[in-house]
C-alpha cells in the first residue's frame, strides 16, 4: 500500500500566493507516495478563505474564524492528518515543493524519523530576507546546537518533515512561530538525530508580506531554553 505524505499548509492573508502554492504542491512529483493537502486558514481577513473554498475544495480545508498563530494552525491541521509522513509548507512561495522527494527519502529509507530542509546546505542559495533574518537564523541554530548537543545548520527552516506517529506523540503547546524551536527541542530531548537535506530558498522581505518579527526571535530563544529542562517531551 503506497505511503501518504500529509502536507500541512498554515496560511494567513496569503491571497497573492496561496493558489500558485497549491498548484506547485499538487504538481510536485513524489510517486509512488501519495499526497494529502491539509490547508489551515488561520482567520484570514483578505480573500484567502474564499479562494480556498472555490479552488481547493478537493483538499482537506480547515477554516478558522480567528487568527491564533502558525503553531495553533499546525496543531489544528495535525488532527486531520491521515498520512504516514508529515511536512510543514508555508503558504508563500519561499520554499520549493519540488524538494519533497529528497526530503522524505531518509524517512522512507528508515534512516531517521525527522528531516529538516537546510537552506544553509545549498550553496546556490545566495539570497536571504535581510541580514536581521539571516543573523537570527544563524543564532538560533547555534543556540540549539549549544543547548542540545546537535549539529544542525538551519533550525528555523519551514521544511520540517516527521514520521506522522512521532509528531502526533509530541505534546505541542505552541501557538505562534515558536512551533519551530519547540518541536526541535522536544525531538532532540528524545535523543532523535535530525537529518538535514539541502533545499531551495526564494526569500521574500517584510514589505512583500513576511510576517515574522524580532519579538518572535526572542520567543524562540526563550522556547529553546525552556524546553531544555521540561519533563513532558
Q: What is the pLDDT of residue 134?
A: 82
DSSP character string of 14-35: -TTTHHHHHHHHHH---TTSEE
- DSSP annotation of 46: S
Among 121, 129, 147, smallest CA distance to 200 is for 121
Mean pLDDT of 70-84: 98
pLDDT confidence of residue 128: 65
Q: CATH number of the domain at 4-226, please?
A: 3.90.550.10
Confidence of residue 4 (pLDDT cuts 50, 70, 90): very high
Residue 82: HSE in the Cβ half-sphere, 13 Å Cα cutoff: 8
Residue 1 confidence (pLDDT): 84
User: 230 falls in which pLDDT band (50, 70, 90)?
Assistant: confident
DSSP the chain: ---EEEEEEEESS-TTTHHHHHHHHHH---TTSEEEEEEEEES-SSSHHHHHHHH-TTSEEEEESS---HHHHHHHHHTT--SSEEEE--SSSSS-GGGHHHHHHHHHTTS-SEEEEESTT-TT----S-HHHHHHHHHHHHHHHHHH----S-TT-S-EEEEHHHHHHS-----STTHHHHHHHHHHHTTPPPEEEE-------GGGT----HHHHHHHHHHHHHTTT-S--
For residues 36 and 7, give the distance between their C-alpha atoms in angstroms, rounded to a whole number.
Answer: 6
pLDDT at residue 208, as a whole number = 56
Please work out, in degrees rounded to the nearest 5, the angle formed at the alpha carbon of residue 5 by the alpha carbons of 173 and 38: 55
Task: Please check whether residue 88 is in contact with residue 157, taking contact to mean a CB–CB distance below 8 angstroms.
Answer: no
The residue ranges of every structural domain in the chain are 4-226
Would you call 88 helix, strand, or coil by DSSP?
A: strand
Q: What is the pLDDT of residue 215?
A: 84
Q: Which residue has the higher pLDDT, 166 or 128?
A: 166
pLDDT higher than 90, residue 205: no
State residue 210's pLDDT score. 58
Q: Specify the pTM.
A: 0.94
Q: Residue 211: what pLDDT?
A: 63
Query: Measured between alpha carbons, how far is 57 from 73 in angstroms, rounded to an integer?
Result: 18
DSSP 8-state assignment for residue 77? H
Q: Which three cell numbers stand for residue 30?
A: 513524489
The answer on pLDDT for 135 being more than 80 is yes
Amino acid at each position: 500500500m503506497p505511503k501518504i505524505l500529509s502536507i500541512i499548509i498554515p496560511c494567513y492573508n496569503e491571497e497573492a500566493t496561496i493558489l500558485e502554492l497549491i498548484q506547485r504542491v499538487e504538481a510536485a512529483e513524489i510517486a509512488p507516495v501519495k499526497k494529502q493537502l491539509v490547508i489551515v486558514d488561520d482567520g484570514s481577513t483578505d480573500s484567502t478563505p474564499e479562494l480556498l473554498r472555490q479552488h481547493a475544495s478537493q483538499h482537506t480545508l480547515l477554516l478558522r474564524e480567528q487568527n491564533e498563530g502558525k503553531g495553533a494552525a499546525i496543531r489544528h491541521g495535525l488532527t486531520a492528518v491521515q498520512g504516514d509522513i508529515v511536512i510543514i509548507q508555508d503558504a508563500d512561495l519561499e520554499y520549493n515543493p519540488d524538494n519533497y522527494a529528497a526530503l522524505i527519502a531518509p524517512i522512507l529509507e528508515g534512516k531517521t524519523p525527522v528531516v529538516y530542509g537546510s537552506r544553509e546546505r545549498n550553496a546556490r542559495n545566495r539570497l536571504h530576507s535581510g541580514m536581521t533574518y539571516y543573523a537570527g537564523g544563524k543564532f538560533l541554530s547555534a543556540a540549539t546546537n549549544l543547548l542540545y548537543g546537535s549539529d544542525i545548520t538551519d533550525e528555523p527552516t519551514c521544511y520540517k518533515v516527521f514520521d506522522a506517529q512521532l509528531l502526533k506523540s509530541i505534546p505541542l503547546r505552541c501557538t505562534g512561530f515558536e512551533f519551530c524551536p519547540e518541536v526541535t527541542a522536544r525531538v532532540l530531548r528524545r535523543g532523535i538525530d535530525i537529518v538535514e537535506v539541502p533545499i531551495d530558498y526564494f526569500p521574500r522581505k517584510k514589505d512583500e508580506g513576511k510576517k515574522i518579527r524580532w519579538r518572535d526571535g526572542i520567543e524562540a530563544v526563550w522556547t529553546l531554553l525552556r524546553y531544555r529542562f521540561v519533563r513532558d517531551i
